[in-house]
Amino acid sequence: MIRRLPLLPTLIVAAAVLVMIGLGVWQLQRRAEKEAMLALVAANPARPAVAFPAFPPVPSDLLFRRSSVHCLHVIHWHSEAGRAADGSTGYRYIAECATGAEGPGVLVAAGVAARPDATPQWRGGQIRGWIGEEPDHRSLFSRIGGKSLPLRPMLIAGEAVPGLKPLAPPTVADVPNNHLAYAVQWFIFAAIAVIIYLLAAFRRRSTP
């Protein structure tokens, strides 16, 4: 005798599949929005300089615009993979700067070194460059859930700093645009969930 599919597990799997398909469609919509934003950002470096934004998030009309900040003094440094203006790769050094007795401070991507244990000589001062964002280490699920904080503004230095190579100028290629890949992943997850459930249901029906 053929057994019917269990109601509760079927409803749970169906709901999960619908959620995954919905997330895939949402990523496709986000992809169209991101492409429009990238077209705006691509023109920003040629536009006039603006004041550096004090708080996140960085609006699209300010991303990669020319600006300047005054770093009162460097609080500490951290480094991660980066690219210099001469095309070489290494470690991008980011300074967290104080800008006064109070206030949010400012992040400055000051330059590139060949080693992760370099000791930058720059201690602060006025510096010009482009408005960027701090490196994005947020997880996909935290962004989807709305639990992640917006990325802080960061000045990408356009001039050499003592002890470091100048950074490569920012381009739209530096802005992640993975929405199509994310959409495909969600659709694949939905398909896998359906296949696994159908196989489990087939085995259940075949069991005497």
Whether residue 38 lies inside any domain: the answer is no
Say how far apart CA 194 and CA 11 lie, in whole Å: 12
Residue 207 located in a structural domain: no
Residue 90 lies in a domain: yes
- Integer Cα distance of 142 and 20 in angstroms: 16
Concatenate the DSSP letters of all residues of the chain into one string.
Answer: -PPPPPHHHHHHHHHHHHHHHHHHHHHHHHHHHHHHHHHHHHHGGGSPP-PPPSSSPPPTTTTT-EEEEEESEEEEEEEEEEEBTTS-EEEEEEEEEE-SSSS--EEEEEEEESSTT-------EEEEEEEEE------HHHHHTT-SPPPPEEEEE-S--TTSBPBPPP-GGGS---HHHHHHHHHHHHHHHHHHHHHHHHHHHH--
Beta strands 73-83 and 125-133 are unpaired
Let me know if residue 190 belongs to a domain.
Answer: no
Cis peptide bond upstream of 57, omega within 30: yes
User: What pLDDT shows up at residue 208?
Assistant: 57
* Mean pLDDT confidence for 16-39: 86
In a domain, 34, yes or no: no
Res. 103: pLDDT tops 80: no
The pTM for the full model equals: 0.70
- Tell me what pLDDT residue 1 has: 39
- By C-alpha distance, which of 151, 156, 153, 154 is closest to 169? 156
The answer to whether residue 21 sits within a structural domain is: no
Mean pLDDT of 173-177: 76
Interior/surface letters 27-48, b for 16+ CB within 10 angstroms, e for the rest: beebbeebeebeeebeebbeee
Q: What percent of the chain stands above pLDDT 70?
A: 89
pLDDT at 2: 47
Task: Print the domain residue range for 146.
Answer: 44-175
Using one digit for the tens of pLDDT, what is the confidence trace for 81-100? 999 999 899 999 999 999 87
Q: Is residue 7 part of a domain?
A: no
pLDDT at 204 (0 to 100): 72
Q: How far is CA 49 from CA 2, 52, 67, in A?
A: 72, 9, 5
Residue 13 has pLDDT above 70, yes or no: yes
Half-sphere exposure of 124 (CA within 13 A, CB side): 14
Note the pLDDT of residue 157: 95
Number of domains in the chain: 1
